[in-house]
């Protein structure tokens, strides 16, 4: 990730916090992935409580190829 910088360090305090691993406005700017996952989990449980358990999508099994088509006779080479 490329951050803008000035002569005396980064230009924005949030960028400085990102580089140092410190807090910005009382929040950590480093750990966004786990915060998003936690928020998604909370919203999914809230949706389940409102509308009931979520239905899983039915997965279609691939069609099985008939064994007759698998075992095609090999063409023999005819000598000329």
Tokens, residue 75: 């063409």
How does pLDDT run across 41-61, given as a tens digit for each residue?
A: 999 999 888 886 656 655 666
* The pLDDT value given to residue 42: 92
pLDDT value for 67? 59
pTM value is 0.31
In angstroms, the Cα distances linking 29 to 16, 35, 42, 56 are 10, 10, 20, 34
Phi, psi angle pair for 31, to nearest 5°: -100, 65
> What is the average pLDDT score of the chain?
71
């Amino acid at each position: 990730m490329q951050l803008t910088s000035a002569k005396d360090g980064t230009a924005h305090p949030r960028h400085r916090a990102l580089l140092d691993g410190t807090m910005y406005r009382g929040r950590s700017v480093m750990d966004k992935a786990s915060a998003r996952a936690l928020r998604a989990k909370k919203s999914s449980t809230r949706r389940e409580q409102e509308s009931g358990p979520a239905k899983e999508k039915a997965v279609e099994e691939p069609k099985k190829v008939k064994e007759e088509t698998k075992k095609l006779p090999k063409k023999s080479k005819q000598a000329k």
